[in-house]
Amino acid sequence: MNEISQKDQAILARIGVNEVEKRDRRRQKRDFGVALLFMSPALLMVCGLLLAPVFYNVYLSFTNWRKFTGLDELIGFANYERMLGNPFFGEALTNTAIWVVASIVFPIAVGLGLALFLRDVRFSNTFKNIIFIPRILAPTAVGVLWFYVYAPQGLLNRGLSAVSGQQVDIGWLYQDNTVTPAIIATFVWQTVGLVMVLILLGLAAIPKDPVEAAQIDGASRFQTFRHVVLPLLTPTLLVVTILSVLAGFTVFDLLWVMGASYPGQRSLSLAVYMYFEAFQKGSWAYGSAVAVIIGLVVLSVTWVQAALQQRVDRMVR
């Protein structure tokens, strides 16, 4: 045993494997230095301006920082406890939950519906482009446009008056029960085009054979869709759902622009509520705590997506 290894070592030394290994290690060290040099601008910017603030934000949420005092005064979970009793927080949470449900249901229902419907229509590309157009505008510009569509003397009320024959005078963006649905409608109008395009890509990637086999076996169009197309489309639908949930959960621009005249603007969503508490009231620590809650929800949605993705990948394979 010993003899062999000695012999081996001799051979290895003769062909210079040790040298090669050493050179390799040296080269790896040198390469790492060079790579670090190449990565350092990106690392510095991301760590300094994105990751460090996140950690600092978590720290702040445990302090008593308000206006100009209390930055170094740790108060544990008091900021989080304060949320529980706050009616504005409760309303903001409810509205955010409505946004999450709506951004699961509507983009999928409308996007899938439009994708299936517009796929085989004549001039299908023209129609698809029309549905996609709102997506190119900035959310701020879309918010401004729809702000006037919903205005008391605006397009929607005038249109409803003309159709119904009587004066319609709804303050869409001023009333508690209409403001969130109205803004959600605008959100769907703007974002469903991309959802549709993604679903169309998913549909195009579905192999023809199983669909044709089902048709030959006498399956109806609905049966084919339900039992062949839909299961194959699930991965796409999953990605699309998660994307729209994250977008709907953190939406700010539309609420900021369209909710400007609504008296309860601060409770339109957690994102707006956090802005009000920190930047208008000066409750910095409390605002940080709200931001942490938003972060926790986003991270758990991302985590659920990763888990589901793995399961779907395994199913497809």
Partner 1 sequence: MAVNLELLDYDAIARRESEKRYGKWWTLAGAVLVALVWLVPFYYLAVSVFKTQTEYASGLPLALPNSLTPIIGNAVEAWTRAKMDIGMLNSAFYGVVGAGVAVLFAAMASFGLTRLNFRGKDMWFMIIFAGTIFPFQMYLIPLFFAYQKVGILNTHLGMLLFYIAICIPFPTLVLKNFMNGLSREMDEAARMDGANEFTVFWRIVLPNAWGPVTATFLLQFTWIWNDLLFSTVLGNRAETRSVMNSLQVFQGSYSSSGPNLVLTAALLASIPSIFLFFVLRKHFMEGMKVSAL
Q: Which of residues 200-219 bind partner 1 (CB under 8 A)?
A: 201
Cβ nearer to partner 1, comparing 102 with 146 = 146
Report 54-113 residues binding partner 1 (CB under 8 A).
Answer: 54, 56-57, 60
- Site membership for partner 1, residue 1 (CB under 8 A): no
Contact between 286 and 277 (Cβ < 8 Å)? yes
Q: For residue 54, give the DSSP letter.
A: H
Question: What residue spans of the chain are helical by DSSP H?
Answer: 2-15, 17-46, 52-60, 78-85, 87-119, 124-132, 139-149, 155-164, 176-204, 208-216, 221-224, 230-249, 253-258, 270-275, 284-316
* 51 binds partner 1 per the rule CB under 8 A: yes
Distances (CA, A) of 3 to 14, 16, 18, 312: 17, 20, 19, 55
Q: Does 307 bind partner 1 (CB under 8 A)?
A: no
112, 114, 188, 200: which one contacts partner 1 (CB under 8 A)?
Answer: 114
Per CB under 8 A, 138 contacts partner 1: yes
Q: Cβ closer to partner 1: 8 or 24?
A: 24
Query: Distance (Å, rounded) from C-alpha 292 to C-alpha 285?
Result: 11
Residues 6+ apart with CB under 8 A from 61: 79, 80, 285, 288, 289, 291, 292
Check binding of 194 to partner 1 (CB under 8 A).
yes
Q: Whole-number minimum distance, CB 116 to partner 1, in Å?
A: 11
CB of 292 to partner 1, least distance (A): 7
Structure-token pair, residue 46:
């991301």
Cα separation, 83 vs 296, in Å, equals 15
Q: What is the DSSP letter of 133?
A: G
Which of 39, 74, 97, 213 is in the footprint of partner 1 by CB under 8 A?
Answer: 39
- 245 interacts with partner 1 by CB under 8 A: no
Three-point CA angle 166, 170, 175, nearest 5°: 160
Q: Which of 102, 119, 251, 113 is nearest to 188 (CA)?
A: 102
Q: Smallest gap, in angstroms, from Cβ of residue 85 to partner 1?
A: 22
User: Is the CB of 1 or the CB of 50 nearer to partner 1?
Assistant: 50
Binding region for partner 1 (CB under 8 A) out of 8-16, 27-35, 77-85, 212-220 = 27-35
Interface pattern 257-296 for partner 1 (x via CB under 8 A): x--xx--------xx--xx--xx----x--xx-xxx-xx-
47 is an interface residue for partner 1 by CB under 8 A:
yes
